[in-house]
Structure formats: C-alpha cells, structure tokens
Structure 1
Amino acid sequence: MSGPIILVDRDIPAGQRLLLSEGGIDAAHWPALAGRNVPALRAGDVLTRDGEPFARVESASWWPGNPSRRVWVLETLAGLRPGETAFGRERRGRALAWITLSDKGAAGLRADASGPLIEELVRAALPLGLARGFVLPDDERALRALIEDLALVQGFDLILTTGGTGVAPRDVTPEATLAVIEKRLPGFERAMTAASLVKTPFGAVSRAVAGTLGQSLVVNLPGSPKAVRECLEPLLPALGHTLDKLQGDPAECGAPA
C-alpha cells in the first residue's frame, strides 16, 4: 500500500473528532490516529477513500514540545474500522475564518452578531467547506499571532476580521494586519471606503486593511453588522477570483472559462 495511510486501531463512528499525526501521538483526552506519508494537510481538506469522503480537517497545528511534528484535528464523516486506510485529499469549498475583535465580546459581555454575518454573506457567494469563528479582545499581538497561524499553519483561504478599524485607543486591527500581510490590496480598501461613504461621511474614518499572507486573503471589516454588510458586499464577487490567482491559477484574467 503506497501513498498517505492512516492506521486505525478501533471502530470510530462518523461525527467523531480525533487527532492525526505522522507516526502517532500520545493523546490523553482525544482518540488518536497514526499516519504514514501524511502530506501537509490544510484546514478544510477532505480526506477520501475510494473517492468517498471519510474525514475533514478541522484545524492544523504543531504538537506541543515537538515543533517538527504536525498534528491535525479531524472530524470523521464516515465510520472507520480497524486497519490501514489509504487516502486521497480534496478541496471541497473554501475554508473561512472570521475573527471578531471586541473586549466586551471576549469577556462574554456582548453577543457577537458581526462574525456570524460574515459567514452568512460569504457562504451565499462562495462554496464553503469549513467555517470557524474566533472572538478576541482588542490585542494587537494576539491578533497578529492568530492571523499568522490561520494563514501559514492551518491554511485557511479567507481570514476576515471585524472590529477595531477606527481611531479609538484600542483600535489596533489595522496595525496587526499590516505587520503580517505580504501584499496589500488597496483596491479592496478603496471599494470598502466607497461603499461606506455612500451611507455615512464617517466611512472616511475607517482604516481597514486588506492583503494576502501566504495563500490566504486577509480583510479587515468594521465592527457593526450594518457596516460589515455594506463593506463586504462589494468585495464578494472578487473573492473567488482573488483566491484562484493567489493560489496559482494560471488562467489569464478575463479569459473564457
């Protein structure tokens, strides 16, 4: 048996979350799978067996204390039986991470409406295979670290933030984003500003940043649900094309499909 292989030592039902690592791991609280020849899986990848999906990658990380060992959290989509399972992987839809920046939200003092709205709007425009949400306080270093992890370790396609784009003392989202992105997308930023100014002159105050990190697209959005909708809607038609080009699509822009 060649190619990537998962070694299963027990019956595992569908809907089970478990850990996978090359060579196996000692996990006290999670069922663990060992693997051989496991490629660098990305969050949102679907693992297939004979062309049928049996697991989805929920997240990727490094095993604590061993930075050379990759570990992935899987959700089983079909039951697994003991033995060896050779697998392929597919990308069935994009992986979206939304991050809400809110001191009150992180403290549990405010319900988050903007993050779920981002998922709703993106899901209506793009096929999504995975969506995950995070709520952070307005902390520049924490946001910087999370964006880098989501883009460079976990491999999310889209990383959209909401909140912290103004000029208040705790508004640090643009600074965190500028510190990590590799290519800035001023066209995205201008489109958001133009959409905001149609509604309110206060749209000129936003410092929202958009850019790329690795193969991920990172976009800052305002904090209120109303402003999220106004700023995200003009970007939605360009998201898929931007990701295609960022991730190596060789077709010329505007070429027939």
Structure 2
Amino acid sequence: MSDAAAAVNVDGLPPPEAVRIGIVSISDRASTGVYEDKGLPALKEWLSAALFNPIEFQPRLIPDERELIARTLRELVDDARCDLVLTTGGTGPAIRDVTPEATMDVADRVMPGFGEQMRQISLHFVPTAILSRQVAVIRGQALIINLPGQPKAIAETLAGHDAARGIFAAVPYCLDLIGGPYLETRDAVCAAFRPKTAQRPKRAG
C-alpha cells in the first residue's frame, strides 16, 4: 500500500490535521499543591472527546499572577506555536482574579462574542454568572479563550445546552479564518458550525 493510500482512513478521507492546544489552569492553591487541580484534566477530557484531530496538549498550572499569566500565554502562542489556548480560573471579581487583564495584555484583537455567550450560557444555571469576566482574544494566528474554573462549568460553556449553543461550535471556523488547522468535531459532543462554502466532508463517528 502506498503512503498516500495509507493516509486515507475508512471514511475515504485524509486523516485530520494535528492541532496544538495550550491549556492553562490558573489557581494560587492548586499551583502550590493545597488541593488537586481539576481544570487541566477536565479540559483534556472534553477536548479529546470533542475532536477527531490528533491533539498535542501544552499544559500549564500557574498561580494568579498577572505578569506570569501574560508571559505564559505569550510563550504558548509565540514559542510553543499553539493554535488554541484555553485558560480556566481567575475570571471573577476577587482581588486575585486577574486572568482577563493578563489575557488582554497579550491581545492583538478582542473577540467579545465569546465572553458574551459564556455568560448567557452560565446564567441558565446560576445568577452569579453576571460576575464572570471571561474574555477571548486573538494573538497572531491563535485564539485564546478564558473559561470558568469548575469542570462542570467548563463542559457547560464549551458544549452548551438545550437553550444556548456552546462557544466551541464557533471555534473551528474562527481558527479557519485566522489561518489555523481545520478542526473536526464529533457532533455527539459538539457540532461545529461553518458556512457551507467552508465545510469539508464530515467524518463518521
């Protein structure tokens, strides 16, 4: 069998493109071992279930320090060449919650729709969602999104629910537009939305 034939899977499609994803859990206590971090495992589990793409994760566990968060985001995008960076934690109104400020420090462009939709999703579950300050930005050819700190809220925000579409449905097309890899989602977890002109044949499963 030729290399070209071997590269085609059972659907008759070439294999999905590889994607490099930075996942950053931001917590003073988890980063110092006071309690076990649950953000990174939750992100890995959800993304691995949602995507057909082979994923190279770049995990980071850091405290709530604005300069360190900004430096970590720059390193993940500029040096590690991540296509997508998801943070969890540090987005509330507490004094030590500085993730949105650090994210804005590294932004080339702001994508306000992500934060707006995240709060709409969370408001279906808790009234305190209005206290969340999550933002999303573009740096270079990478998308950076702040997510909530709790694993349950992470999944709800990414996947959505009956009354509100999750934010991850828009992530693949956003990456298309900024020159990233073509993300292929499993519809049972999260169906990506693209205009018909931007769609490729869908993979089974």
TM-score, normalised via structure 1 length: 0.61
Question: Residues 104 and 141 of structure 1: is their aligned pair in 2 closer, same or farther, counting only changes over 3 Å?
Answer: same
Query: Aligned runs of 1:70-81 on 2, under 5 Å?
Result: none
Cα contact 2:142–2:175 (8 A) shared by 1? yes
Question: Residues 124 and 168 of structure 1: is their aligned pair in 2 closer, same or farther, counting only changes over 3 Å?
Answer: same
Structure 2 counterpart of 1:118: 43
d(CA) in 1 for partners of 2:198, 2:154: 32
CA displacement, residues 60-115 of structure 1 (integer Å, 9 cap, x when unaligned): xxxxxxxxxxxxxxxxxxxxxxxxxxxxxxx9421111101111111011111122
Q: Does 1:245 align with 2:171?
A: no
Query: Aligned runs of 1:54-73 on 2, under 5 Å?
Result: none
Structure 1 counterpart of 2:18: 93
Cα contact 2:31–2:37 (8 A) shared by 1? no
d(CA) in 2 for partners of 1:248, 1:122: 16
Of 168, 172, 176, 1:236 maps to 168
TM-score, normalised via structure 2 length: 0.76
Structure 2 counterpart of 1:135: 61
Cα contact 1:155–1:215 (8 A) shared by 2? no
Cα contact 1:125–1:237 (8 A) shared by 2? no
Cα contact 1:93–1:128 (8 A) shared by 2? yes
Q: What percent identity do the matched residue pairs reach?
A: 35
Structure 2 counterpart of 1:73: none
Cα contact 1:184–1:211 (8 A) shared by 2? yes
Question: Residues 232 and 179 of structure 1: is their aligned pair in 2 closer, same or farther, counting only changes over 3 Å?
Answer: same
Cα contact 2:58–2:76 (8 A) shared by 1? no
Of 219, 234, 257, 2:145 maps to 219
Task: Give the secondary structure class of the aligned counterpart of 2:60.
Answer: strand
Q: Which runs of 5+ in 2 are unaligned?
A: 5-15, 160-165, 182-193, 200-205
Cα contact 1:125–1:236 (8 A) shared by 2? no
**1:124 Cα shift?**
2.1
Matched length: 168
Structure 1 counterpart of 2:112: 186
Q: Which has the larger radius of gyration?
A: 1
d(CA) in 1 for partners of 2:198, 2:108: 29
More strand by share: 1
d(CA) in 2 for partners of 1:184, 1:254: 26
CA displacement, residues 207-254 of structure 1 (integer Å, 9 cap, x when unaligned): 0010110111100011111211122221222221111111179xx944
CA displacement, residues 103-130 of structure 1 (integer Å, 9 cap, x when unaligned): 1111011111122111221222221330
Question: Residues 128 and 189 of structure 1: is their aligned pair in 2 closer, same or farther, counting only changes over 3 Å?
Answer: farther
Instruction: Considering Cα pairs closer than 8 Å and 6+ residues apart, tell me whether 1 or 2 has the greater RCO.
Output: 2
Question: Residues 163 and 255 of structure 1: is their aligned pair in 2 closer, same or farther, counting only changes over 3 Å?
Answer: same
d(CA) in 2 for partners of 1:157, 1:248: 6
**Structure 1 stretches of 4+ moved >3 Å:** none
Question: Residues 128 and 235 of structure 1: is their aligned pair in 2 closer, same or farther, counting only changes over 3 Å?
Answer: farther
Question: Residues 172 and 218 of structure 1: is their aligned pair in 2 closer, same or farther, counting only changes over 3 Å?
Answer: same
Cα contact 2:83–2:180 (8 A) shared by 1? no
d(CA) in 2 for partners of 1:150, 1:97: 6
Cα contact 1:98–1:161 (8 A) shared by 2? yes
Q: Which runs of 5+ in 1 are unaligned?
A: 1-49, 52-90
Task: Give the secondary structure class of the aligned counterpart of 2:61.
Answer: strand
